[in-house]
Structure 1
Amino acid sequence: MISFALRGWDGLLAVLRWTSMAVLAFMMLTICYDATMRYVFTAPTSWSLEINSFLIVYLAVIAAAEAQRHDAHIRITFFQNKLPQRLQALIAIATGLLGALFCAILVWRGGLLALQAFEYGERVSSAFGTPMVLPYALIPVGFTALGLQFLIDALNAGQRLIHPAAEESSHG
C-alpha cells in the first residue's frame, strides 16, 4: 500500500515537474515576445510583466517539493557528514518534521489568504486584472506538496535510524 502511494506521489511530482517546465518555456516565449514588441515595434504588451511575475511564483512554490525530493537545495553538509549515521538520521527526522510544520503553517495562512481574495473578488489593478485568488492559491498547493515531501523524508530517515545496516549496505 505504501509503495503504491509513493508511486502515486512520484507521478504527481512528475506532473508538477512537467508543468513547471512548460511554465518556464511559456515565460521565455512571452518575455521574448514582449521584448520584441517593446524594442522593435515600440508597442510593449500590457500583460507580460504581470503574468510572468505570477508564473515565477509558480516556479518557486510548485517546484520546491521536487527539489526537496532530489535533495537539490543548497546546503552545507561538511560537519553533518562527519557525524555518526544515527545522529545524521535524527537530524534528518527533526529537519523533516520542522519543515512539515513550517509548510503546514504556510498552507493554513496561504489558504486563508486565497479564500479572502476569493470572497472579496480581489484583482490586480491593471489592464489584465488577474484575480488574486489564482496566485494566492499557489501557496497552499505548493506548500502542501513540499510538506508531504518533508514528511516522506522524515519517514525515510526514521527507516535509516531503525535499520542503519540496510542504508550502509546500499551505499557500499
Structure 2
Amino acid sequence: MRRALDLLYAAGLWLSALCILVIASLVGLQVVARIWDAILQALDLPRSGFVVLSLAEISGYLFAAASFLALAGTLKSGAHIRVTMLVNALPQRVRALIEAAALAFGALAAGFGTWAIGGYALESWRFGEVSPGLVQVPLVWPQAAMAAGAALLTIAFLDELTITVRTGRPSFRAAEDAVALGREG
C-alpha cells in the first residue's frame, strides 16, 4: 500500500511538472515567434504573424492544474510552509495530538474542496461549458485536474494522519528536522 501511495504522489508531481513544461514551451514558442517577426521586420520582409492563441488563458489553466497536482507530493516531502514555533515547544505526546488534529482538519478541508471542485467540473461537463477565449477550452479539463489534485491532497492528509496516529510523528517532520539542522550547522 505504501508503494502505491508513493507512486500516486509521484504521478501528481510528474503531471504537475508536465503542465509547467507545456507552459514554458508555449511561452517560449511565442517569444521565438516575436523575435522572428522582429528580425523579418528589420529586414523589410513580411512578418509571419504567428501567435499562440489564448496563451494567457491556457497557461492559467495549466498553472492551476500544476499547482493542485503538486499539493500532495509537496505535503509528503515536507515542502509546505508550516509554523512550528508553538508545537516545537510542546511535549512530544501533546505535539502528536495537535499535529493529528491539524492533519484531520486538513483532510476534512481538502475533502470538502475535492467535493466542491468536482461538483463544478461535473456541472461544466453536463452543460458543455467552454472558456470564452479564441480557443474554446472545455472547462471540465482544468476543473477535473484541480479536483484530482485536491483528491490526492485529501489522500495525503489521511495518509499522514494515519502515520501520525500510529507513530506519534508525521513522516514529513524528518524533512523539516533536516532543514532545521542545516540552519544550525
Q: Specify the TM-score bucket, using the shorter chain as the normaliser.
A: 0.7 to 0.9
SS of corresponding position for 1:98: helix
SS of corresponding position for 1:63: helix
Structure 1: unaligned runs, 5 residues or longer: 168-172
Cα drift, residue 11 of structure 1: 1.0
Say if 1:106 and 1:139, in contact at 8 Å, map to a contact too: no
Same amino acid, percent of matched pairs: 27
Say if 1:100 and 1:147, in contact at 8 Å, map to a contact too: yes
Aligned to 2:71: 64
Q: Which amino acid aligns with 2:97?
A: L
Write the distance in 1 (CA, Å) between the matches of 2:153 and 2:13.
13
Q: Which amino acid aligns with 1:62?
A: L
TM-score, normalised to structure 1, is 0.85
Structure 2: unaligned runs, 5 residues or longer: 38-48, 175-185
Write the distance in 1 (CA, Å) between the matches of 2:57 and 2:35.
19
Say if 2:16 and 2:67, in contact at 8 Å, map to a contact too: no
RMSD: 2.0
Aligned to 1:170: none
Residues 67-146 of structure 1 aligned to structure 2 (within 5 Å): 67-146=74-153
Aligned to 2:19: 23
Q: Rg larger in 1 or in 2?
A: 2
Cα drift, residue 40 of structure 1: 4.1
Write the distance in 2 (CA, Å) between the matches of 1:54 and 1:72.
23
Say if 2:26 and 2:52, in contact at 8 Å, map to a contact too: no
SS of corresponding position for 1:111: helix
Aligned to 2:178: none
Aligned to 2:5: 9
Say if 2:15 and 2:69, in contact at 8 Å, map to a contact too: no
Aligned length: 160
Write the distance in 1 (CA, Å) between the matches of 2:112 and 2:141.
19
1:13-50 Cα distance to aligned partner (Å, 9 max, x none): 12222222222222112111112323542543213222
